């Protein structure tokens, strides 16, 4: 803990700006009032549109509203907990299953990070809540521009049946700023957050780090299902950064974002430790080629790597095996928007996802694969939104092809695993489906 805390303090010293004033030049890129921002909606068309031309309910929440919330578990779904139709109730800082949206579970609300899909379970508890400039909640079934997400784990693939929630990162930095929060509590709990933003000419950037750790009390009692014999503990470290280059106008930009979460600890027994790592990367390019014609190209990388130990309890507390799941997803999207007839907009594009899912069991240093799955999704979409005075007509369509390849079936894995245990079949603690599956788009 001492080394981690020292590193956190060093990061604070290196990142502190000393309160430098904002630089002059190209100020029109950065100056935008909240009233102007409230008129911009990107979820239904992927470019800024007036809210009165959107044919479904869209709610926008800004960073100023987030800062009024009390300290929470750190799940990004909690940013939305005071909006209608949401039930948000994470049980702890490390709980992925946060509630429901529109009466349906998290898997029926598509989560996006700057327009690219993320996992509404794992990424919701991994990403740092201080990152976002605003959030758009598109309620009701998503438009044809968004496909299912091949998350494969926890509750299976995710589909935007109840809505689409887009978490939008900061692009333009108006002035340098540094935020620091620290908290201490019982059970040796510590929470520290650092965020810093600045710009140099047309280069805008922010970076930060978060450290959480705790040595919980033993909530177990004799014969309790928790079966703890000592105090469980955990440590979670997050580091992130984003660079955005604005080419002298706010409709021509290039950005790169990276976020890493390392989560380690144990569940209250000597051979029940775990190590989880999550990486989220987004790269995006946007340009208004000519008046009314906008091009966006985006690609991302998501890595979910979890490894946990199993013991021989109740026979003894010796190590039985290590189990793990590693999943990689690469989403990409290219979209073209053509404005015409005032606020009317024609949109067309292609998107894809490439996913691998591997679960394994490791006994005495020998690793055996339980399931090895390759999945992909390729889609093309087109949409016309025609605005005629007070009337808005929207029509669109999507073609999507999804494929899966199973090297080891779930049934074979259960037979091969000792006693057919669910954990040996890649079932992570706290919930999850060991077998991927394809879901038809509603």
Q: What dotted CATH number matches 2-425?
A: 2.40.170
Say how far apart CA 211 and CA 180 lie, in whole Å: 12
Residue 358 clears pLDDT 60, i.e. is over it:
yes
Lowest-confidence region among 62-66, 287-291, 388-392, 432-436 = 432-436
pLDDT at 363: 92
Whether residue 74 has pLDDT greater than 50: yes
The reported pLDDT for the residue numbered 184 is 87
Q: Give the per-residue pLDDT at 343.
A: 84
The pLDDT of residue 13 is 38
Residue 293 zone, left/alpha/beta (φ > 0; ψ -120 to 50; rest):
beta
Q: Kindly state the greatest CA–CA separation across the chain.
A: 74
Which tens digit of pLDDT belongs to each residue from 180-195? 999 888 778 899 999 9
pLDDT confidence of residue 27 = 36
pLDDT at 20 over 60: no
Q: Are 4 and 161 in contact (CB under 8 A)?
A: no
pLDDT at 5 over 60: no
Q: What's residue 231's pLDDT?
A: 79
User: Of the given ranges (47-56, 81-90, 337-346, 352-361), which has the lowest mean pLDDT?
Assistant: 47-56
Tell whether the model's pLDDT for residue 226 goes beyond 90: no
Supply the pLDDT for residue 9: 41
417 or 125: which leads in pLDDT: 125
Check whether 91 has a pLDDT greater than 60.
yes
Q: Is the pLDDT of residue 16 over 60?
A: no
SS (HEC) of the chain = CHHHHHHHHHHHHHHCCCCCCCCCCCHHHHCCCHHHHHCCECCCCCCCECHHHCCCCEEEEEHHHHCCCCCCCCCHHHHHCCCCCEEECCCCCCCCCCEEECCECHHHEEEEECCEEECCCHHHHHCCHHHEEEEEEEECCCCCCCCCECCCCCCCCECCCCEEEEEEECCCCCCCEEEEEEEEECCCEEEEEEEEEEEECCEEEEEEEEEEEEECCCCCCCCCCCCCCCCCEEEEEEEEEEEEEECCCCCEEEEEEEEEEEEEEECCCCCCEEEEEEEEEEEEEEEEEECCEEEEEEEEEEEEEEEEEEECCCCCCCEEEEEEEEEEEEEEEEEEEEEECCCEEEEEEEEEEEEEEEEEEEECCEEEEEEEEEEEEEEEEEEEEEEECCEEEEEEEEEEEEEEEECCCHHHHHHHCHHHCCHHHCCCCCCCCCCCCCCCCC
Scan for tokens 């990424």, then name that residue.
123
Considering the entire predicted model, what is its pTM? 0.82
Residue 291, pLDDT above cutoff 90: no
From the number of C-beta atoms within 10 Å of its C-beta (0-12, 13-18, 19+), residue 403 rates as exposed
Highest mean pLDDT of the ranges 122-131, 322-331, 430-439? 322-331
Q: What is the pLDDT of residues 292-312, one digit of tens each?
A: 899 999 999 999 999 999 999
Residue reference for tokens 């954990």? 423
pLDDT at 30: 37
Q: How confident is the model at residue 155 (pLDDT cuts 50, 70, 90)?
A: low
Instruction: Among 16-25, 34-43, 102-111, 395-404, name the one with the lowest average pLDDT.
Output: 16-25
Residues 166-174: what's their mean pLDDT?
90
- Which of the listed ranges 12-21, 26-35, 223-232, 389-398 does the model predict with the highest average pLDDT? 389-398
Q: Which residue has the higher pLDDT, 17 or 72?
A: 72
* Mean pLDDT of the region 71-100: 84
């Amino acid at each position: 803990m001492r080394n981690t805390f020292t590193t956190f303090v060093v990061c604070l010293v290196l990142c502190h700006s000393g309160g430098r004033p904002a630089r002059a030049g190209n100020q029109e890129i950065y100056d935008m009032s909240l009233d102007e921002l409230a008129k911009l909606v990107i979820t239904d068309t992927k470019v800024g549109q007036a809210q009165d031309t959107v044919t479904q309910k869209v709610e926008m929440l800004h960073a100023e509203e987030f800062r009024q919330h009390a300290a929470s578990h750190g799940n990004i779904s909690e940013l939305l907990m005071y909006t209608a139709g949401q039930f948000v109730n994470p049980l702890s800082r490390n709980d992925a299953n946060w509630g429901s949206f529109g009466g349906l579970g998290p898997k029926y609300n598509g989560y996006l990070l700057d327009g690219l899909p993320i996992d509404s379970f794992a990424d919701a508890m991994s990403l740092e809540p201080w990152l976002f400039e605003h959030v758009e909640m598109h309620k009701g079934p998503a438009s044809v521009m968004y496909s299912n997400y091949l998350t494969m784990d926890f509750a299976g693939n995710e589909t935007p049946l109840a809505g689409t929630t887009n978490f939008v990162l900061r692009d333009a930095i108006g002035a340098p700023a540094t935020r620091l929060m620290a908290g201490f509590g019982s059970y040796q709990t510590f929470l520290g957050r650092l965020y810093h933003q600045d710009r140099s000419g047309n280069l805008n950037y922010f970076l930060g780090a978060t450290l959480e750790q705790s040595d919980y009390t033993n909530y177990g009692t004799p014969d309790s299902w928790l079966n703890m014999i000592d105090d469980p503990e955990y440590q979670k470290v997050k580091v992130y950064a984003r660079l955005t280059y604005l080419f002298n106008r706010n409709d021509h930009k290039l950005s790169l974002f990276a976020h890493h979460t390392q989560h380690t600890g144990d569940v209250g027994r000597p051979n029940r430790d775990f190590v989880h790592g999550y990486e989220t990367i987004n790269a995006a390019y946007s340009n208004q080629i000519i008046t009314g014609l906008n091009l966006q190209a985006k690609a991302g990388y998501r890595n979910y790597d979890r490894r946990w130990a199993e013991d021989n309890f109740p026979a003894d507390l010796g190590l039985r095996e290590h189990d793990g799941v590693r999943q990689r997803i690469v989403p990409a999207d290219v979209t073209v928007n053509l404005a015409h007839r005032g606020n009317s907009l024609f949109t067309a594009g292609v998107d894809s996802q490439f996913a691998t899912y591997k679960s394994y069991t490791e006994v005495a240093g020998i690793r055996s694969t339980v399931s090895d799955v390759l999945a992909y999704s390729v889609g093309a979409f087109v949409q016309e939104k025609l605005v005629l005075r007070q009337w808005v007509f929207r029509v669109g369509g999507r073609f999507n092809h999804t494929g899966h390849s199973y090297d080891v079936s779930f049934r074979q894995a259960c037979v091969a695993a000792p006693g057919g245990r669910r954990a040996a079949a890649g079932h992570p603690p706290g919930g999850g489906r060991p077998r991927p599956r394809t879901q038809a788009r509603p």
